[in-house]
Each structure stands twice: as structure tokens, then as C-alpha cells.
Amino acid sequence: MSKLSFENGKMIVPSCVTVPYITGDGVGAEITPVCQAVVDAAVKKAYAGERSIEWKEVMAGERSFNMNGEWLPEATLETFREYLIGIKGPLTTPVGGGIRSLNVALRQTLDLYVCQRPVRWFKGVESPVKEPQKVNMVVFRENTEDIYAGIEWKCGTPEAEKFLHFLQDEMNVQKIRFPETSSFGVKPVSVEGTERLVRSAIEYALENELPVLTLVHKGNIMKFTEGGFKLWGYALAENEFGNRVFTMMQYNELAKERGKIVADEALALARQEGRLVVNDVIADAFLQNTLLKPEAYSVIATLNLNGDYISDQLAAMVGGIGIAPGANINYRTGHAIFEATHGTAPDIAGENQANPSSLLLSAVMMLEYLGWNEAAKQITTAMENCFEAGKATIDLARFMAGGKSLSTTEFRDELIREMGGPIK
Ligand code: ATP
């Protein structure tokens, strides 16, 4: 077994990497082996047998429950902790109280503070917008605070009443319109939580030579939480990244002093010098802008709730809500779990119809995370070629002009053929 190690912020990657995986429930049983076969073929093709992945199954979800009575065995968490990375198919969330969602448990145990969602369009895939090719962004959604750490009290309970009295009597809050029938919610947003998220997003943008990092927030309404996110984000950019960034705050100062045209020139110069432009936008304006001028954005850093809306809208714009990949990452410890973002699709499970693309593109993210970009490129190129030729699973093919519906395993074979590899 070949473990990754993480030293001084750098991942040490052996030539054979052990990757723990959760097969997943429902269609997981079909898409996981397909994903592994395609990844193996890509790695083999890219490195002529000098690099490889050793897959190590760990249990979770219904499959685990049926085998050993546990939804998420401690051994699974321990394995992810030890091997740093992992990949997972969709999991059934246990019904009934008491058991945390498995995804939440994984995220919290490993403190995976970034939910990363790349969004791009594949030629051939039907989209509801006119120019989907202009949508190319990576969303960094904060994964541990805001509503994920939100606290709520239901109206009519003694707790809500106690909280109401605290607000009215001790905090002198008078503006609650219907106090007796209100539920209450509180959400924390911290300096540390913001900084680690924004730092990771800026580092990602710089490493990948992307032009703009945008902080998306509702700081005009929630001044200290969402507004804090914006201010702390800008401060971090200026303090930690100095000349490598050019922030909108610096731009505004320049515009005040010397006029807008000079500032525009400064912005153009910043781009020319390879400096990352760091700006911000209010969440509602951002959602409009993504439809009007999506090309203005490349990396997005945002809070938890905004990130939820944004990730799904952007995925829908590229017609990819069913193929959107995702990862939950802690860039400080190196821990990362890559995952299919769709559910278990029980309605089509067992029919060899499921689209493996979401999991496959998550595997692409994983390969890039390891620095195995050549193997990642093999897979994306094969997918580009298949989709452009109208070859896809039925969920996508039925909307493609001249689309040809393939089964899950036929799609696997097409991808491997595209990469010039042998078909298993
Ligand atoms: P869960 O309860 O696990 O969330 P669900 O069926 O409620 O499952 P999804 O699994 O996200 O939610 O499915 C929503 C719809 O999208 C279903 O009709 C499903 O068949 C379809 N779907 C989801 N994933 C895929 C996939 N990988 N390939 C093809 N269709 C899919």
C-alpha cells in the first residue's frame, strides 16, 4: 500500500497511490467500477505503467449497514484520515433520527472546510443558456460555518421564548415584527474560517494562473457576518499575497485619487503583470451577472448558504446538474474527499443506465489534486470527444442533436477507446 504524505503544505505523491473508496448506494454499484476502469486506463496511458492507483474499498451507507449493521464504521473514517484522500459514490442518508448524515460526518471529522465545485461546459451537452462556453468557474464554498453551523429555535418552544427575552431585555432589540410567533436562527462566521477559505481559493487561482478571484456575499444586509467575510477576505489578500494580487479596494483608492480611467488602466496592467484581481460582488448581483457576463468570473470564494445556491445555478447553466463533480478539502492537512454530487438515483439503479460523469469528473479533480494532470487530461479529452459526437448515457444523449444513448458500460468502453486503451 502506498500512502500519500503531507509535509510543509506539500503533498508527497508516490508512484503507486492507494485510494480508499466508498462504492456508494443505488447507482453507486454501477458508476464506481466504471469510474475506476476509466481512471486506471487514463493513468496507464499517461504514464506508460510508471504510475498507478491501488483501490481500497471502505464501507459506508446502506451497503455497509446491510453487511455489518453500521452506517459509517469508525474504520472508514480512520482509513480516510490515514490515506489523506478518498472518493465516494452517492450515499443513502439513514431515515429516522439520531444518525448524522454520512456526508456531514465525513466533512466534520476531517474538517474539510472547502467544498470545491468546478463548473465548465462540454460541447454537445444541452444547456439552457445561449453561450454556455463562457461559463468556466471554480466555486470555493465555505464548508464548516454559516448555516452549516447554524443554530435555530422553533417558535413556541421555551428555548425560542428564552432567546426572545434575551434579545429584548438584554440586547435591547425592538424590531422583531411578530415576536410571539417567530422562530429564531443564529449563524457564526469567523475570521479564521473566512481566512482559511479565501487563502485556499487565492492559492488555487494563482497556481492555476486564473485571472480573477471574486468574494460573493450579502454584506450590504448582514454587515458583520457576510460583510466580515468580504473585509477579512480583502485584508488577507493584501496582507498575505502582496504584489501577487490587485484588490478592488486598491482599485477604488486609485480611482478616488486619479480617476476611473487611470484605475481601469491599473486593472489592465495588473492582469498584464500576472497579478490576480481580487474583487467582490453582492450575491444577488452575482447570480444575475452569471447569466449576463459569466466570462467575468473565474474563481469564486463564498459562504456556505450562498455557495449552495451558486453551485447549483452554475451547474444548471452548463446543463451539467447531473454531471457536476465536487470535492471537500482541507488544504492545511491535505485531506480531501472527491464525490459524485447527485443522489443514489434508486429509480434507475441496477439498469446499467446511470451516468458515471459526475464521479468521473470528481476523479479528474482527484488526479489534478495529486498533480497527475496528464491523466486528468486524458479523461476530460475523452469526455469532450464523446459528448461532441453525441455519445453519452441516456440522460444527456436524449437532448443532444443526433445523440446516441449508451449504457453505463458502453460509455465506459467509448471513453477507454478514445484514450486508445484496451477495453476490459
Ligand atoms: P437520493 O434520495 O439519494 O437523493 P434521488 O433520486 O432523490 O436520490 P437523485 O439521485 O439526485 O435524487 O436523482 C434525481 C433524478 O436524477 C432521478 O430521476 C435520477 O434518476 C436522476 N439521476 C441522478 N443521478 C443520475 C446519474 N448518475 N445518471 C442518470 N440519472 C441520474
What digits encode the pLDDT tens for the residues 108-166? 889 999 999 999 999 999 999 999 999 999 999 999 999 888 899 999 999 999 999 99
Q: What is the pLDDT of residues 176-187, one digit of tens each?
A: 999 999 999 999
- Gap from CA of 90 to ligand 1 centroid (Å): 9
C-beta of 323 in contact with ligand 1 (< 6 A) = no
C-beta of 250 in contact with ligand 1 (< 6 A) = no
Place of cell 421555551: 158
Q: What is the pLDDT of residues 197-219, one digit of tens each?
A: 999 999 999 999 999 999 999 99
Catalytic residue (choose from 148, 204, 234, 297): 148
DSSP helix/strand/coil, 329: strand
C-beta of 90 in contact with ligand 1 (< 6 A) = yes
Q: Across all residues in the chain, what is the average pLDDT?
A: 93
C-beta of 95 in contact with ligand 1 (< 6 A) = no
Q: What pLDDT is recorded for position 55?
A: 98
- Gap from CA of 339 to ligand 1 centroid (Å): 14
Residue in 101, 342, 399 to alter for ligand 1 test, most ligand atoms within 8 A of Cβ: 342
Instruction: Say how many CA atoms lie within 13 Å of 398 toward its Cβ.
Output: 5
Pairing state between β 325-329 and 245-247: unpaired
Mean pLDDT throughout 373-394?
97
Instruction: State CA 336 to chain mean position distance.
Output: 11
Q: Is 424 a catalytic residue?
A: no
Q: What pLDDT is recorded for position 422?
A: 60
C-beta of 322 in contact with ligand 1 (< 6 A) = yes
- Gap from CA of 187 to ligand 1 centroid (Å): 30
Q: What is the per-residue DSSP string for 146-192?
A: GGGG-EEE-TTSHHHHHHHHIIIIIS-----SSGGG--EEE----HH
Q: What pLDDT is recorded for position 1?
A: 62
Which region among 3-7, 70-74, 102-106, 401-405 has the lowest average model confidence (pLDDT)?
A: 102-106
Catalytic residue (choose from 218, 230, 234, 369): 218
- 145: which residues sit within 8 A by CB, 6+ positions away? 187, 188, 189, 190, 193, 303, 304
User: Beta-carbon neighbour count of residue 267 at 10 Å?
Assistant: 19
Residue nearest to atom 22 of ligand 1 (CA): 345
Q: Is 204 a catalytic residue?
A: no
Whether residue 363 contacts residue 338, with contact meaning beta carbons closer than 8 Å, is answered with: yes
Catalytic residue (choose from 40, 47, 111, 284): 284
Q: Is 395 a catalytic residue?
A: no
The more confidently predicted of residues 380 and 103 is 380
Q: Is 230 a catalytic residue?
A: no
Residue nearest to atom 1 of ligand 1 (CA): 343
